[in-house]
Structure 1
């Protein structure tokens, strides 16, 4: 049952991934790692998927961590892929489940097209290679291709793979049309949760484009933004704290952890949110699932 949180600020990590999407650890192992690193409020936010939520919740409870349901939805905005994190929703909501299923639907076709392009660049059998790294075949992604290409010895790590082959304009990049921003925000909010712009510093928008993203997001009912995240630099913490204040948005915090060796930031190791922000978890007190 949801219960009020204590007055002590939690060590919250509200953005990470398991092998239900493109992480490498099971939900239970992600929970255990978060707990070892001192996380007290946790959310598993797999890409376009909530199939691991009940397992994550049970693992968190067994370890004594408070839990918020989570997901990370891929949306297309101004011809770029943007991610919207949902927190504190009903994981059994039928509309949210169907929306995420529809969003996942185009991934296999995109993956086969990526494999065709990589073959032209001299990397054969990439689709089959990527499948070895997929916990959920419906969620095959660029990350799985990157792990396979590292295995072939062509690149030292997944970051090099993205730079050389999988980023926009590179030989293996294939665009995909995801959910609309409006739909993603509505699925989350109508399921009782709060929508959050994930790692806004990653999208390489112009200032006008970024302002349009924040404005449209808020107009659709979005309420939060990730300020402190493993995808941001220290100066960006302050930049997006300022954006949160300007747009009157709640502030979130999450490592974006995927794997013990690949991820820049481990679970639970981020600094606290900057001052004069309202943490997103304060607005979700009644949605927190207590240990």
Structure 2
């Protein structure tokens, strides 16, 4: 495992899922940390999609602002025929395992971007690939970059319409990708010294039976946590996740609770940094590092 980020009890807000310009976020890592500080976040995990390129900058900003930065990543993986997201927390960014996982996804994302652009070009949207790249910059290219270009080019009024008409499930830009499978992805994170957390379990549109199967398979693959809260959600949704986690833990092998805003941009208050809390009575994922610290000091 990487060096312990913190020990003992923590004051302030904790946010373990957010994005910067290194993937599909609007703010640079430095701007993101500055905003987190303004929101009283004291422990922040930068979890960009399939890259750790922004972590070093975030760490430097964290030192300047007094925000502890947990190095992280949000890997895309396959569970059967479905794409799911796995957050890796407290990873060693220099790990060969992690770098290989990133390299595989770089190739897959580049191939997908070319296919999306080709499909959009056939619909008459000339310059889609270069347009999306202009928004991605040096970051990982994804569908949100195509959405922003479609807005800028005047093809749609906003990014929501871009996904509804062209980029969402079953639409022109919905290109299937053979991402590394769930077990391999968890192994990559664990080999990098990190903890694997299933991101936003309620966002996959699964029945409760299927979601229980996903959580169980994730745990059996070596996953250590699940996001009980991701962005602002109503209490009913939180209770649904907790109920499923109780069932997963029925044999004595459960998953720890994680949380995050899934912040991407400032004009989405339901995803504001530091805006979410874990319910009382759950064991948080950060106990892993608190325990490590106590063992070292003891």
Spell out the pairing of 1:15-30 with structure 2 (5 A cutoff): 15-30=17-32
Spell out the pairing of 1:12-161 with structure 2 (5 A cutoff): 12-136=14-138, 139-161=140-162
1:41-68 superposed Cα distances (whole Å, 9 cap, x missing partner): 1010011111222221221122111221
List alignment gaps of at least 5 residues for structure 1.
none
Is 2:212–2:244's contact at 8 Å kept on the other side of the alignment? Answer: no
Distance in 1 between residues matched to 2:24 and 2:243, nearest whole Å? 31
How many residues were matched structurally?
A: 286
Is 1:199–1:231's contact at 8 Å kept on the other side of the alignment? Answer: no
Which of residues 259, 278, 284 in structure 1 aligns to 2:289? 284
Distance in 1 between residues matched to 2:271 and 2:57, nearest whole Å? 23
Which of residues 252, 259, 267 in structure 2 aligns to 1:253? 259
Distance in 2 between residues matched to 1:36 and 1:157, nearest whole Å? 28
Distance 1:4 1:152, change over 3 A: closer
1:214-238 superposed Cα distances (whole Å, 9 cap, x missing partner): 1111111101001111174442222
Distance in 2 between residues matched to 1:233 and 1:140, nearest whole Å? 32
Distance in 2 between residues matched to 1:21 and 1:278, nearest whole Å? 30
Q: Which residue in 1 is equivalent to 2:179? A: 178
List alignment gaps of at least 5 residues for structure 2.
249-253, 294-298
Is 1:201–1:232's contact at 8 Å kept on the other side of the alignment? Answer: no
TM-superposed deviation, 1:9 = 5.1
Q: Which residue in 1 is equivalent to 2:209? A: 208
TM-score (norm 1): 0.91
Further displaced range: 221-230 or 147-156? 147-156
Distance 1:246 1:67, change over 3 A: farther
TM-superposed deviation, 1:262 = 5.3
Which structure carries more relative contact order (alpha carbon 8 Å, separation 6+)?
Answer: 1
